[in-house]
Amino acid sequence: MINEEALGWVIQTRDPAFSDWDGFTAWLEADPAHASAYDALMLADSELDSLVPPEPVAMPPIAANDPGVRARHPLRWIGGGAVAAALVAAVSLGVANRSDIYSVTTRPGETRLIALDDGTKVELNGGTTMRFDRKDARFAALDAGEAAFTVRHDAANPFRVTVGDAVFEDAGTVFNIVHTDAATRIGVSEGKVIYNPQAEAIALPAGRALADDAQGLRVMDIAPAAVASWRQGQLVYSNAPVTQVAEDAARSLGLTVQFTPQVQGMRFTGTLRLDRDPERFFAQAAPLMGLSAVRQGDAWLLKEGNGPQN
């Protein structure tokens, strides 16, 4: 948390228009560790100047379909030209190399329950990698895959999940996060989660979901029963891309699922029952999506039409 705060102050103080020196001084004096963290990040920033372009690159606006969502802008230095994400990566690398940080990985189709010392429970779905801190039960990082969180709330010491360059902070809640190369999605079934509390600070109460993918950053409604439904042996969707359904099924069942180009634009609303037998699963799932499933070696191909399953 100190590194996150220090990074925020480094970004602000590098801005020629910065004026909150009283607030900055108060933060430095609040804890001797603050000054050390700030100095270390400022040093890292100066060393990064030669590695990044001196001129900032314009970024396209990010779409949002919720009036309360502001467009997200990537962090960057205003004065020195170093991209803040590079500094975040440097800090993350240092954290990853600490001996008290450990990783947990599940194979596709495998699930695992992690009970943290503070009473929080984290359920990992298949094909998932997470990091935890033996010295800080209020920290978790989802590097890839899917996990459901049942968090013991502590207002003085909130539980935070780092996902890529985003942070999700709980406000006493049950939620599910999916993180892939193409997207990050979160759904909340109880309580409330704050997305990037130091930036956008988007509040997600129960029944709300957030997605950050090729379409941009947006907030939408979600049925609480659909959140982490994989734990109950089913997948629940409302107007979801069929490609997402295929990815979720592959993760939960340990399958390789492919699809034809025509399938990529299709969407699905309904409930699919997870079945460890691929033949039975696709026999009931493919027709519900208006598709057929064909076995191709160790993989399954989803294609348009309700033809016979092979």
For domain 233-304, give the fold. Answer: Phage tail protein beta-alpha-beta fold (3.55.50)
pTM greater than 0.85: no
pLDDT tens-place string over residues 84-134? 444 555 445 444 455 688 999 999 999 999 999 888 999 999 999 999 998
Would 100-224 and 233-304 be classified into the same CATH topology? no
| 2-13 helix and 84-96 helix, angle to the nearest 10 degrees | 160
Give the Cα separation of 167 and 62 in Å (integer): 18
Helix 278-288 × helix 242-253 angle, to 10°: 160
**pLDDT digit string, tens, across residues 37-65:** 777 776 665 544 443 444 443 334 444 44
pLDDT by position in tens, the chain (length 310) = 677 787 788 777 776 677 788 888 888 878 777 777 777 776 665 544 443 444 443 334 444 444 444 333 333 333 333 444 445 554 454 444 556 889 999 999 999 999 998 889 999 999 999 999 988 999 999 999 999 999 988 888 899 999 988 999 988 789 999 999 989 999 999 999 999 988 889 999 999 999 999 889 999 999 998 999 999 999 999 999 999 999 999 999 999 999 898 888 899 999 999 999 999 999 999 999 999 999 988 899 999 876 555 5
Nearest to 82 by CA among 24, 167, 163, 10: 10
First to last CA, the chain: 53
Can you give the residue ranges of every domain in the chain? 2-95, 100-224, 233-304
CA 159 to chain centre: 14
What topology does CATH give the domain 100-224? Jelly Rolls (2.60.120)
Give the separation between CA 236 and CA 257, rounded to whole angstroms. Answer: 18
CB atoms within 10 A of CB 234: 14
DSSP structural state of residue 83: B
